[in-house]
Amino acid sequence: VKLSRQTAARSGTNDKVNQAYPIRAIEPAEFPAFYEVGYQAFNSGWPPEVGRELELLTFEFDRSAAAFDGEQIVGSACAYTFQLSVPGGVAAAGGISAVSVLPTRRRRGIMSGLIRHVLTDIGSRGEAIAILWASEPGIYGRFGFGCASEHLRYTIRRGEGALLPAVFTDKKAAPEISIGEPGRQLAAMAAVYASVAAARPGLPARDDRWWQAAVADPEVYREGASPLRCLIAADGDGPRGYALYSSRGKWDDGVPVGEVRVHELQATDQQAGAALWTDLLTRDLIGETHAWARPVDDPLREMLVDRRRARAQLADGLWVRLVDVPAALSQRRYAREVDVVIEVTDTVIPANAGRYRLQARAGGAATCAPTTAAAAVTATVQALGAGYLGGMRLGTLAAAGQVAEERPGALLELSAAMSWDPAPWCPFVF
Ligand SMILES: CC(C)(COP(=O)(O)OP(=O)(O)OC[C@H]1O[C@@H](n2cnc3c(N)ncnc32)[C@H](O)[C@@H]1OP(=O)(O)O)[C@@H](O)C(=O)NCCC(=O)NCCS
């Protein structure tokens, strides 16, 4: 109760809800009851002990938040300690997950209390950014999260995955492709992933626990597909790419219509990417290859003879919330020189609201500090979160009414400075 009152006092609202459903971190013995809330809320069907074991690989008890109705846990949330790649660098971020409320206790403000509680905790740990994947996009804007990355899903049918010959290729020789057991390829995958993350915003660094989670493959999650397999592209100097995939044999009137499911594919160079895709897109007995969560600027589409045949579908990926606006804005780099005063509105974390002067040289360290100078751009904290990783253009957000230009030219200046190449991408759900 003490904790929840503090939270209510800090957030300034929700006092009644937080007193009715106090929030605190759980002890290990309470984990099954905590897990049960999400198990019910997400309509999960697999045996709960399988999901619990998986969750515990990465769970941080001191970052959990459970809402209680008397003795019973009726709401859950947690956060992970992440190092997130951001434009030109890395920033500490709290990755929010397990947000659930028991179906019988919904729409009483319990989730709102939990999110405010977790955001306060993230801020008190000195993390300037909160990130999450949303089960539904309508939930998190009200808490100041903006959709900062998107991804593509492909369905590539038999015969439609031919690649163009590359015009310029790396001077290195084409890599060897081999099939490995994921659990034995962790070091190779980690090296490739770290190299990709160094250049592309949106990837949370994975430590051993997160690699164990990445290759965890309970049979009940496979839906009839093979165990997870790992394709490695390597040469004498080491690994250059990998793909985690599974496959499923299927026959329709004697015709082979199997499926390949690409869970994750990462490559450090053009040849390695092309070699991995060529292997996966030309497998025998396969009717369709499905790839989930590909970057919006995936080189694959530019390599396909017929890019339309990827049948790409766009979905929202990582949602970003700036918990400490000036700290977050100074922790990334900018593509162009920028000197703009931004007026920020934030109703959930009022300490963020105010005017800040953002200054940076192209690619150099940035400063962002409170100022009394006139605003050049006004933005909601959601809009700044959406633009933070460099993929969502501020001009679009201005056209959507979330950003306003107060000095002619300032919007374009800020938008061009915040944009980043390559596009942000988070390749896994946490
Ligand atoms: C989503 C969920 C956590 C909401 O919990 P809740 O305690 O009912 O939420 P609150 O009462 O705090 O709702 C706060 C506001 O969000 C809105 N909201 C809640 N769920 C929403 C949804 N799925 N889509 C859009 N808006 C939603 C509420 O209507 C309310 O709006 P208001 O302030 O204008 O009245 C709960 O319904 C749930 O567990 N759903 C299934 C699991 C899930 O999707 N979790 C999210 C994981 S990313």
- Non-local (6+) Cβ contacts of 26 within 8 A are 34, 61, 64, 66, 73
**Given this model, what pLDDT does residue 354 score?**
98
In a 10 Å sphere around its CB, with 0-12 CB exposed, 13-18 middle and 19+ buried, how is residue 237 labelled? exposed
In which order are the strands placed within the sheet that holds 129-133? 23-24, 64-69, 72-86, 89-101, 129-133, 318-322, 146-147
Q: What is the mean pLDDT of each run of 10 residues along the chain (430 residues)?
A: 38 68 98 98 96 98 98 98 98 98 98 98 98 98 98 98 91 93 98 98 98 97 96 97 98 98 97 97 98 97 98 98 98 98 98 98 98 98 98 96 98 98 98
Could you identify the atom of ligand 1 that is nearest to the CA of residue 134? 48
Residue from 21, 39, 59, 140 carrying the catalytic annotation: 140
**Given this model, what pLDDT does residue 84 score?**
99
**Given this model, what pLDDT does residue 13 score?**
53
**Given this model, what pLDDT does residue 172 score?**
84
CA dist., res. 295 & res. 293, Å (int): 7
Q: Tell me, using a 6 A CB cutoff, whether residue 112 lines ligand 1.
A: yes
Pocket probe for ligand 1: among 44, 55, 101, the residue whose CB has the most ligand atoms within 8 Å is 101
DSSP annotation of 71 reads T
User: Which sign, positive or negative, has the C-alpha torsion 10, 13, 19, 25?
Assistant: negative
**Any catalytic annotation for residue 388?**
no
Q: Tell me, using a 6 A CB cutoff, whether residue 14 lines ligand 1.
A: no
DSSP annotation of 112 reads H
By DSSP bridging, strand 258-267 and strand 286-295 are: parallel
- Non-local (6+) Cβ contacts of 179 within 8 A are 229, 230, 231, 232
Q: Tell me, using a 6 A CB cutoff, whether residue 46 lines ligand 1.
A: no
d(CA 396, ligand 1 centre) in Å:
27
Tokens encoding 39: 């198990």
d(CA 204, ligand 1 centre) in Å:
26
Place of tokens 């992440």: 82
d(CA 77, ligand 1 centre) in Å:
13
Pocket probe for ligand 1: among 80, 105, 107, the residue whose CB has the most ligand atoms within 8 Å is 107
Could you identify the atom of ligand 1 that is nearest to the CA of residue 75? 7
**Given this model, what pLDDT does residue 11 score?**
47
Count the helix, strand and coil residues of the chain and give each as a percent rounded to the nearest 5. Answer: 35, 30, 35
Q: Tell me, using a 6 A CB cutoff, whether residue 138 lines ligand 1.
A: yes
Could you identify the atom of ligand 1 that is nearest to the CA of residue 102? 39
By DSSP bridging, strand 72-86 and strand 64-69 are: antiparallel
**Any catalytic annotation for residue 140?**
yes
Could you identify the atom of ligand 1 that is nearest to the CA of residue 107? 11
Could you identify the atom of ligand 1 that is nearest to the CA of residue 100? 39
CA dist., res. 93 & res. 90, Å (int): 9
Q: Whose CA is nearest to atom 34 of ligand 1?
A: 142
Q: Whose CA is nearest to atom 5 of ligand 1?
A: 111
Q: Tell me, using a 6 A CB cutoff, whether residue 26 lines ligand 1.
A: no
Q: Tell me, using a 6 A CB cutoff, whether residue 107 lines ligand 1.
A: yes
Q: Tell me, using a 6 A CB cutoff, whether residue 20 lines ligand 1.
A: no
d(CA 37, ligand 1 centre) in Å:
14
pTM of the model: 0.95
DSSP annotation of 211 reads H
Picking from 311, 401, 329, the residue whose alpha carbon sits closest to that of residue 367 is 329
CA dist., res. 324 & res. 228, Å (int): 39
DSSP 3-state assignment of 290?
strand
Phi, psi (deg, nearest 5) at residue 99: -75, 110
CB 393 within 8 A of CB 148: no
